[in-house]
């Protein structure tokens, strides 16, 4: 029995400022954050801005995304949960994003965050 997580119906725009604050506190830029989001979702800046303006939910945001084929290289722990062990496909995508934001905030090189082969 699965209960739909509240995050699925939360607007991406309501969480995005927290991502920006998190990376900026660690000396990274909004542009770097947007680049990470673009890498994961395939959204260019105009598409990202449209999702932010449209109050798109996380469910809608990832439904519209063209997930990067290298996204499965994102592994590790977020909020005490191993990303690669998350069963729900949508929750796994959200955790991928959380993990990328964490890595960016921790000062990891952008090429490494973006899993550049």
Range of the domain at 77: 11-113
Give 25-44 pLDDT, tens digit per residue.
999 999 999 999 999 999 99
3-state DSSP helix/strand/coil % of the chain, to nearest 5: 60, 5, 30
| Number of independent structural domains in the chain | 1
The SS3 call for residue 81 is strand
- Residue 69 belongs to some domain of the structure: yes
Query: Cα–Cα distance between 57 and 12 in angstroms, integer?
Result: 5
Provide the CATH number for the domain around residue 86. 1.10.8.290
- Residue 3 belongs to some domain of the structure: no
CB contact at 8 A, 88 and 16: no
- Residue 74 belongs to some domain of the structure: yes
Give 96-114 pLDDT, tens digit per residue.
999 999 999 999 999 999 9
- Residue 25 belongs to some domain of the structure: yes
Phi and psi, residue 65, nearest 5°: -75, 150
Whole-model pTM over 0.75: yes
């Amino acid at each position: 029995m699965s209960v739909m997580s509240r995050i699925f119906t939360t607007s991406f725009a309501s969480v995005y400022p927290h991502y920006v604050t998190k990376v900026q506190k660690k000396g990274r830029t909004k542009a770097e954050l947007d680049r990470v989001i673009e890498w994961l979702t395939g959204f260019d800046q105009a598409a990202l801005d449209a999702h932010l303006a449209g109050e798109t939910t996380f469910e809608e945001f990832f439904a519209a995304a063209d997930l990067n084929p290298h996204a499965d290289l994102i592994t590790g722990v977020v909020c005490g949960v191993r990303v690669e062990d998350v069963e729900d496909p949508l929750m796994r995508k959200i955790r991928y994003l959380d993990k990328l934001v964490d890595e960016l905030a921790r000062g990891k090189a952008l090429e490494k965050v973006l899993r550049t082969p």
